[in-house]
């Protein structure tokens, strides 16, 4: 039964194999980014940027149709612009960065939906918002693979600086005035780049799910940063595999099934995680109360 559920669909059907490979590549690159977003208290920024890329995707769609390159470039440019403008607004006004992102991403989402509606059908809109992972072709798989590889290489090169900028920004700024801004900018560019890759698979509304849910789950188990990254990657890989298998067996939409599987892992981690196990905390409180009554 396990073979028929978890293995056979990926052996018998090429579209399932391509979807799995694309999801695995995306999980490997987005999970570490999700961990850094958590550590920086920027969890909702990823969600905001995933919506902010939609106007650029829509412009690419209007100019070139369902062109992977055109929509990818448009989405990347739109995401970077929103990130830069939001940072500028938060630094020049009394608005916090999260409030600035919220204002711009809501406007971006509405603008993107409006632009797509001018020319596209409801099917095209659903494709861009929720993805069509089972329709991923070899070109899209290669596109995601290249982005994942570039992301891992840049993260490896900037790892020490990124960790220092996350935990002790002032120390890094004393030694190099421009380093924190440069590292932060590169990090946001990588974030947008991976969201652009994710929208090809899971759509603009679901792409952040595979980035944040495994990362949050990992934080419930790991005590070190490398351990959290490893667990987050494993959670992402398992979510993609089980989600695709589950969607195939039950005839469910694949993208939401993957994110829902990651959500199940998140709830399990909250309940039983070694660092934030709710069940263990409740049991400990019940035992303490019982001893106090006696």
Confidence of residue 181 (pLDDT cuts 50, 70, 90): confident
Domain borders along the chain are 2-293
User: Per-residue pLDDT for 292 more than 60?
Assistant: no
- pLDDT tens digit sequence for 56-71: 888 888 888 778 788 8
Please state the rounded mean pLDDT for residues 97-109. Answer: 77
Q: What percentage of the chain carries pLDDT values higher than 70?
A: 90
**Residue whose token pair is 């002790």:** 168
Residue 94: count of CB within 10 angstroms of its CB? 6
- 184 pLDDT exceeds 90? no
Bigger pLDDT: 270 or 174?
A: 270
**Angle (nearest 5°) at CA 42 between 40 and 43:** 120
Is the per-residue pLDDT at 105 higher than 70?
yes
- What does the alpha-carbon distance between residue 179 and residue 194 come to, in Å, rounded to a whole number? 23
Least confident of 9-18, 147-156, 254-263, 268-277: 268-277
Whole-number pLDDT of residue 25:
92
Query: What gap in Å lies between CA 231 and CA 114, rounded to an integer?
Result: 39
pTM above 0.85, yes or no: yes
Taking only the tens place, the pLDDT of each residue in 84-94 is 888 788 777 77
* Mean pLDDT within 137-163: 91
C-alpha 98/C-alpha 49 separation (Å) is 11
Q: How confident is the model at residue 103 (pLDDT cuts 50, 70, 90)?
A: confident
C-alpha distances in Å from residue 20, one per residue of 36, 88, 195 = 25, 39, 17
Taking the C-alpha atoms of residue 186 and residue 279, their distance in angstroms, rounded to an integer, is 40
Torsion of CA 175, 179, 183, 186, to 10 degrees: -160
Note the pLDDT of residue 286.
Answer: 65
Distance CA 22, CA 236 (A): 12
In whole angstroms, what is the distance from residue 154 CA to residue 106 CA?
Answer: 30
Name the average pLDDT for the chain: 84
Query: Residue 291's pLDDT is what?
Result: 60
Residue 122 has pLDDT above 90, yes or no: no
Is residue 55's pLDDT more than 70? yes
**Contacts (Cβ under 8 Å, ≥6 apart) of 2:** none
- Which tokens sit at 1? 């039964």
pLDDT in tens, 24-52: 999 999 999 999 999 888 877 887 888 88
In 3D space, the residue among 124, 136, 105, 123 whose CA is nearest the CA of residue 62 turns out to be 124
**How far is 214 from 61, CA to CA, in rounded Å?**
31
Q: Which residue has the higher pLDDT, 126 or 272?
A: 272
Measured from the Cβ of residue 159, the count of other Cβ atoms closer than 10 Å reads 14
Asked whether 272 and 280 are in contact (CB, 8 A), the reply is yes
What Rg do the C-alpha atoms of the chain give, in angstroms? Answer: 20
Which of 19-23, 126-130, 132-136, 179-183 ranks highest by mean pLDDT? 19-23
pLDDT of residue 147: 92
Question: Which candidate, 73, 47, 30, 80, places its Cα nearest to that of 185?
Answer: 80
Give the span between the Cα atoms of 48 and 96, in whole angstroms. Answer: 14
Phi, psi of 222 (to 5 degrees): -85, 150
- Provide CB contacts within 8 A for 4, sequence distance 6+: none
User: For residues 221 and 148, what is the distance between their CA atoms, to the nearest angstrom?
Assistant: 25
219 or 123, higher pLDDT = 219
What would the mean pLDDT of 193-208 be, rounded to a whole number?
83
Rounded to an integer, what distance in angstroms lies between the CA atom of residue 86 and that of residue 19?
A: 34
Q: Indicate the SS3 state at residue 221.
A: coil
Homologous superfamily of 2-293 in CATH?
ABC transporter involved in vitamin B12 uptake, BtuC (1.10.3470.10)
Segment 235-249 mean pLDDT? 93
- Asked whether 45 and 98 are in contact (CB, 8 A), the reply is yes
């Amino acid at each position: 039964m396990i073979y028929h559920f978890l293995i056979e669909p990926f052996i018998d059907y090429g579209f399932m194999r391509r979807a799995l490979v694309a999801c695995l590549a995306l999980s490997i690159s987005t999970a570490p980014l999700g961990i850094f977003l958590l550590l920086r208290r920027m969890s909702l920024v990823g969600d905001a940027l995933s919506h902010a890329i939609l106007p650029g995707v829509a412009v690419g769609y209007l100019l070139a149709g369902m062109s992977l390159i055109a929509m990818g470039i448009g989405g990347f440019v739109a995401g970077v612009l929103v990130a830069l403008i939001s940072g500028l607004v938060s630094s020049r006004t009394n608005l916090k960065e999260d409030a600035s992102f919220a204002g711009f991403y809501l406007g971006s989402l509405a603008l993107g939906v409006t632009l797509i509606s001018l020319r596209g059908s409801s099917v095209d809109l659903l494709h861009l918002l929720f993805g069509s992972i089972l329709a991923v072709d070899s070109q899209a798989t290669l596109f995601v693979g290249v982005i994942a590889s570039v992301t891992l290489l840049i993260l490896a090169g900037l790892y020490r600086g990124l960790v220092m900028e996350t935990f002790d920004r002032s120390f890094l700024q004393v030694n190099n005035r421009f380093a924190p801004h440069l590292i932060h900018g590169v990090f946001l560019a990588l974030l947008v780049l991976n969201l652009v890759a994710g929208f090809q698979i899971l759509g603009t509304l679901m792409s952040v799910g595979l980035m944040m849910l495994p990362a949050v789950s990992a934080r419930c188990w790991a005590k070190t940063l490398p351990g959290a990254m490893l667990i987050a990657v494993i959670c992402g890989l398992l979510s993609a595999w089980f989600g695709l298998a589950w969607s195939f067996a039950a005839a469910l939409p694949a993208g939401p099934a993957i994110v829902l599987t990651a959500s199940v892992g998140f709830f399990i981690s909250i309940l039983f995680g070694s660092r934030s196990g709710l069940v263990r905390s409740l049991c400990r409180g019940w035992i303490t109360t019982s001893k106090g009554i006696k």
